[in-house]
Structure 1
Amino acid sequence: MSDMDLDLPICARQPEILERQAAPLSDRVWLWSPETSFNYTPKRAEKLKIVQSLIAGIENEDFDHETSDASSEKPPKTDSGIESMPSMDTLYWEVPKIEIGMTYFVPNKRGKWVKAKLVEIKNSQLYLVGLQSLERIVSDFLSLAHPEPVLGLVPVGSRVVAHQRGIKPTGEIKRNGRRNFQLGVVAELPSQLNGSRYLVIFDNGAWNYIESKLVHPGYYTSEKIWEVVPIQNRKMVQDFLNGHYEHVIEWKREDQIWVKTDSDEEYTECLILDIDANLLLVWFRKEGKTDWLYKGSPHILVKS
């Protein structure tokens, strides 16, 4: 038995923990004097549990401040694919180096996003070959995405390719049909409040909450990511990322609100059909259509 070991079964059988066992422990834990002993009785079982927990903590403590080579080395960072969970220091996905021979997610001539292998880089142009169709694809760095969803978090303001869900005239989300992947920008990270989904602002102006498995991070990065968004929606993305979208009212279903459309400077009366985290599903009576709006959208008239 080492100096730091305390035989608890012996404590249970004997009326007293001997000083030769308790003293070394006391010097390091409770600073007991050599004359102090710990009388064990059933009424003091709780104190004994405290001693046991202290011993467990001491066994993992590094009193000499020494670390082995194995413990001092950090685990190597790997490309955040779906194969392994990220460690704490790789919580956020990091854009890997673009290399010849690797597979990427790119749009083909028909605008459909497919997996393709990079075969050449020339004058900022990327030449790829589709994995299934074997078609030749010419792309650029703005339209290059990771071939698979990732487990590491994709930061707010990042370029992504995600599945945009269609909306029926009734406001229902279309569940069937082919996946419609579109370019967009991350506006909100997955959390308990939004059902562990990304909020994505698509280049066409649509807002959707998307499951992580349907989000491919893009390889293009910029502190002013809105500069690569189509001009008609550029200011919307810029204003949101700069914190200009603040909602001060908690809306409810069937609330009547006034919304200004892009094509009309006047406000039109709308009805809130549904609420999904920070998005409002709004029915435009005049146009006879539905759309998702962010709660803090400046297009919503807030009366003081």
Structure 2
Amino acid sequence: MNETLSKATRWEIDSDNRIKKAVVLLTRLPDYKVRALRPPTPTQFYSEDESLSSSDSDMQWEPGDDSDSDFSVSTNKLKAVKPIKSDTTRAHAASTSSNNNGTEMVPIVGFDPDTKVRPNLPEVELKVDMVVLARKRPMMWQRGKIVEIVTKEDGRLKYKVSFEEKGKSLVSGHHIASDPTPTLEQLYIGARVVIQCQSNKSLFRPGILAELPSRKNRLRFLVFMDNHTPVYVSLPLLHLVCRPLEDVLESLPDDCHKQFMERYLKDWPFPHLTQYKVGQTIHVELNGAQKSCAVQVVDCSLIQVVFEESQHEEWIYRGSVRLQQHMARILESKENEGK
């Protein structure tokens, strides 16, 4: 309405001071008074930049560049959330689309970040001339092509892979990973994966998926590599092993790391994490001995420490058996279980 009516009430009183009749009078206000009475619009309070950065804005973390064995963790940026889509559309978009930086956008809803159950999905068919990622050495997988499928006397299948970086290997299905990026529906806690090495993009490292994206980890995947190194990565760096063993822990070469992963998967989704603060002095195992170091960064489930003697920097999981404080808790827990 372009006009507002004000009300005035006039009371008529008879000679006995009793109310006789109520009369309502309506008066039209001029336009300038109407404009003055209207509530201000948002643009009168905030500029465009201010309104986007206000505390009421719905923000989410977007993964940045990631790395693996070099112990570096991605630099994260804040990005405003786009309009919500349906669960099906959201999950599909997250597994197929990228932002301008080439980083996969991962939703925080539409899937269960705590699931440990392998989805009942068809296995990838391995065939000749397929491009795959295959194991060349324990901590080094490379891209190659299947050139032959060999059937052993006991019926087991082996795959001869010719690598792009020269050389051939005859490997089992649990030493082959799909080259395409997996969809979110294929991923679960405990999945056998390989991740691309950022210092050398032709190399891939094997590991076990330990966290799916959530607000708690800033929409990233946590992977424990087979050498016990933890790293946060985004979806494009992940590749799913095609024929994982029934017991995925049998793929791990190190017994200490195998025991750690067994306990981790048993405790999930409530793993034991020790709390640390930046600047705190702690003791971490290095080359078989406990060394003094300082906490430099706390990043969700990880901490970055610098060792006092060597100034060596490293990312450590906050529930790692290398942490003296955490080891004491584990030993105490085992003692209590034995009583």
Q: CA RMSD in A?
A: 3.7
CA displacement 1:41-66 (0-9 Å, x = unmatched): xxxxxxxxxxxxxxxxxxxxxxxxxx
Q: Which of the residues 265, 277, 301 maps onto 1:252?
A: 277
- CA distance in 2 between counterparts of 1:177 and 1:289 reads 21
Alignment of 1:137-216 (within 5 A): 137-153=169-185, 154-164=187-197, 177-178=200-201, 180-216=203-239
Do the aligned residues in 2 keep the contact of 1:271 with 1:284 (CA within 8 Å)? yes
CA shift, 1:99, in A, is 3.3
- CA distance in 2 between counterparts of 1:133 and 1:289 reads 31
Identify if the C-alpha distance between structure 1 residues 126 and 285 changes in structure 2 by more than 3 Å, giving closer, same or farther.
same
Match in the other structure for 1:96 = 123
Structure 1 alignment gaps of length 5 or more: 1-77, 166-175
Identify if the C-alpha distance between structure 1 residues 144 and 178 changes in structure 2 by more than 3 Å, giving closer, same or farther.
closer
CA shift, 1:128, in A, is 3.3
TM-score using structure 1 length:
0.58
- CA distance in 1 between counterparts of 2:200 and 2:166 reads 24
Identify if the C-alpha distance between structure 1 residues 298 and 127 changes in structure 2 by more than 3 Å, giving closer, same or farther.
closer
Do the aligned residues in 2 keep the contact of 1:107 with 1:114 (CA within 8 Å)? no
- CA distance in 1 between counterparts of 2:230 and 2:133 reads 22
Do the aligned residues in 2 keep the contact of 1:104 with 1:118 (CA within 8 Å)? no
Structure 2 alignment gaps of length 5 or more: 1-91, 98-105, 330-339
Do the aligned residues in 1 keep the contact of 2:260 with 2:321 (CA within 8 Å)? no
CA shift, 1:179, in A, is 5.0
More relative contact order, 1 or 2 (CA 8 Å, 6+ apart): 2
Q: Secondary structure at the match of 2:148?
A: strand
Return 231-240 or 150-159, whichever deviates more.
231-240
- CA distance in 1 between counterparts of 2:223 and 2:173 reads 20
Match in the other structure for 1:228 = 251
Residue type at the aligned position of 2:191: S
- CA distance in 2 between counterparts of 1:138 and 1:179 reads 19
CA displacement 1:15-61 (0-9 Å, x = unmatched): xxxxxxxxxxxxxxxxxxxxxxxxxxxxxxxxxxxxxxxxxxxxxxx
1:119 equivalent in alignment to 2:152:
no
Do the aligned residues in 2 keep the contact of 1:99 with 1:118 (CA within 8 Å)? no
Matched residue count: 211
Return 96-105 or 182-191, whichever deviates more.
96-105
Identify if the C-alpha distance between structure 1 residues 288 and 104 changes in structure 2 by more than 3 Å, giving closer, same or farther.
same
Do the aligned residues in 1 keep the contact of 2:281 with 2:292 (CA within 8 Å)? yes
Give the % identical residues. 18
Residue type at the aligned position of 2:176: L
Do the aligned residues in 2 keep the contact of 1:259 with 1:269 (CA within 8 Å)? yes
TM-score using structure 2 length:
0.53
